[in-house]
Amino acid sequence: MRAMTRWIRADLRASTARALVIAGVVAAVVTALLLSAGLLQGATNPWQGLFTATKGAQIWLHLAPGTSVRDLKSQVSGIDAVAGPYEATAATVVQTGARTRVELRATPSLPLIGRPLLISGRWLTPSSPGGVVLEATFAQAIHAVDGDVLTLDNVDASRHVRVRLIGIAETSDQGFYPDQTPGLIWVLPGLLGRIEPNIGHTEEVVGLRIADPNAASFIVQQVVTRLGNSTVGTVSTWQQVEDSMARRDPLLGLLLALFGLMALGAAVLAIVNVTAGRVLLQSIDLGMLKTLGFTPLQVLAMLTAEHAVLAGAGIVAGLAAARLLMPVLLDGVPGVSAAATALPSGWAFLIIGGTFAAVLLATAAPALQAGLVRPVAAVRAVPPRGHLSKLARTAMAARMPPAMVLGTRAAFVRKLSAALMIGGLAIPILMITVGLGFWSTVDDVQRNPADIGLAASVTVSPGPLTWSEAGHLIKADPQVQAAYSCVRADALALGDTTTITTLGMGTSAQPYPFHVVQGQLYRAPEEAVATQALLAALRLNVGQFVRMWIGGVPVTFHIVGRIIDPQYGGEVLAYGRDTLADEGAPTPIGFYSLVLKPGVSPAAAATHLVRVSGGRLDAAVVSDPADQLGIVHVALACLIGVLALLGLTSLLTASLLSQRDHQRDLSVLRAMGMTPLQVRFALMMRTTVLALVAVTAGVVVGRLVSTTLISAVSKAYGLGAGIGRPPAVGALAAAVVLAIGAAALASMLPPRPGGHMSAVAILGPGP
CA-closest candidate to residue 340, choices 112, 136, 138, 53: 53
Residues found in the chain: 767
Surface-to-core class of residue 385, CB atoms within 10 Å of its CB (0-12 exposed, 13-18 middle, 19+ buried): exposed
Q: 540 or 389: whose pLDDT is higher?
A: 540
Q: In angstroms, how far apart are the furthest CA atoms of the chain?
A: 105
Does residue 236 contact residue 499 with C-beta atoms inside 8 Å? yes
546-588 confidence digits (pLDDT tens): 888 887 788 889 999 988 876 776 778 899 988 888 888 887 7
Q: How far is CA 617 from CA 286, 595, 683, in A?
A: 83, 17, 74
Q: Cβ–Cβ contacts within 10 Å for residue 162, how many?
A: 10
What is the C-alpha to C-alpha distance for residues 38 and 480, in angstroms, rounded to an integer? 44
What is the C-alpha to C-alpha distance for residues 155 and 542, in angstroms, rounded to an integer? 38
Does residue 503 contact residue 488 with C-beta atoms inside 8 Å? yes
Q: What is the mean pLDDT of residues 364-374?
A: 67
Q: How far is CA 506 from CA 298, 556, 577, 676, in A?
A: 79, 18, 6, 75
Does residue 395 contact residue 405 with C-beta atoms inside 8 Å? yes
Residues 6+ apart with CB under 8 A from 432: 640, 643, 644, 698, 702, 735
**pLDDT of 524 strictly over 60:** yes
Q: Which helix (H) or strand (E) holds 655?
A: helix 630-661
Q: How far is CA 598 from CA 22, 197, 407, 591, 645, in A?
A: 54, 44, 57, 22, 42
Q: What is the pLDDT of residue 752?
A: 46
Q: What is the pLDDT of residue 370?
A: 62
Q: Cβ–Cβ contacts within 10 Å for residue 534, how many?
A: 27
443-462 confidence digits (pLDDT tens): 777 777 766 667 777 888 88
pTM: 0.58
580-637 confidence digits (pLDDT tens): 888 888 877 788 888 888 878 887 888 888 888 877 777 777 766 555 555 566 666 7
